[in-house]
Amino acid sequence: MNIQEYEKLNPFAALEHQGRKLVYLIPNSMCLMRAETLFTKEPSTIGWLDSIPTGAVYLDVGANVGMYVVYAGVIRQARVFAFEPEAQNYALLQRNIQANRLGTLAVAWCAALSDTEAFDRIHLSQFLTGGSCHSFGEALDPYLKERKPAFVQGCYATTIDKLVQTGVMPVPHYIKIDVDGFEHKVIKGAADTLQDPAVASLLIEINPALPEHRWIIEYLNGMGFRHDEKQVAEAERKEGYFKGVAEYVFRR
């Protein structure tokens, strides 16, 4: 294969849903799996996304390659603000935004969101486009235990409060947080923003085995957000590495 033939390669998956087409580029088997399981991997996430009103502001923290960024932009016509710190994932996230012609609705940054602003390192669990379970600032696994990284990248982190206070984005109406163990830090960095009544709902991947994650539940309940135990039970992983982990939907 010569370079011209190679450059023409652009494998993608096109999914029809609710009368619209979703396009996902699939450079490897991991990304193909994400496209094939879009509606089955986290059905509670899809159901939550479907509750977003047209034109609402949606913040995706830990966007990976943009599976839900594309869904929110194409299906819900939401104004999307996305953050993904891993370089390869971010590159494909941008390509997926472009492939779906979401340039006027979606914008993404190659940055982590946490409880402080800092230049540091992101420790990768694997060096693979579409990979996950990376950790900013500390070499930890999703259970917050020490782990030797497969690779380390330079990275910048900021907070949701800083983004809103500086006008980088408006107060988000809907917030999805999936950062493989570090969700509590993202919440701590959004203390002021979450007091704004414009924030209607959050979807957070929570591991109740972690005290840091049990704190999230108590903290948000104390701010007036409520979750449905039935919804959590339905979303809970019943087996595998993430057994017991679930997407918790919080609403005001």
* Model confidence band, residue 163 (pLDDT cutoffs 50, 70, 90): very high
Q: Rounded distance, CA 171 to CA 173, Å?
A: 7
Instruction: Read off the pLDDT of residues 209-225 as tens digits, 9 standing for 90 and up.
Output: 999 999 999 999 999 99
* Model confidence band, residue 9 (pLDDT cutoffs 50, 70, 90): confident
Structure confidence at residue 77 (pLDDT): 98
- State how far the alpha carbon of 52 is from the alpha carbons of 172, 174, 231, in Å: 11, 7, 17
Structure confidence at residue 7 (pLDDT): 81
Structure confidence at residue 126 (pLDDT): 97
Domains and CATH numbers, the chain: 3-251 (3.40.50.150)
Q: Are 160 and 81 in contact (CB under 8 A)?
A: no
Averaged pLDDT, 148-177: 98
Q: Is 90 exceeded by the pLDDT of residue 122?
A: yes
Structure confidence at residue 45 (pLDDT): 98
Instruction: Read off the pLDDT of residues 71-90 as tens digits, 9 standing for 90 and up.
Output: 999 999 999 999 999 999 99
- State how far the alpha carbon of 157 is from the alpha carbons of 93, 138, 146, 154, 160, in Å: 18, 13, 20, 10, 10
Structure confidence at residue 29 (pLDDT): 97
Query: Which pair of structure tokens corresponds to residue 20?
Result: 């619209």
* Model confidence band, residue 198 (pLDDT cutoffs 50, 70, 90): very high
Q: Rounded distance, CA 31 to CA 28, Å?
A: 6
Structure confidence at residue 74 (pLDDT): 98
Query: Which of 6, 185, 219 has its CA nearest to residue 83?
Result: 185
Q: Rounded distance, CA 80 to CA 108, Å?
A: 8
Structure confidence at residue 4 (pLDDT): 86
If one counts every other C-beta atom within 10 angstroms of the C-beta of residue 119, the result is: 8
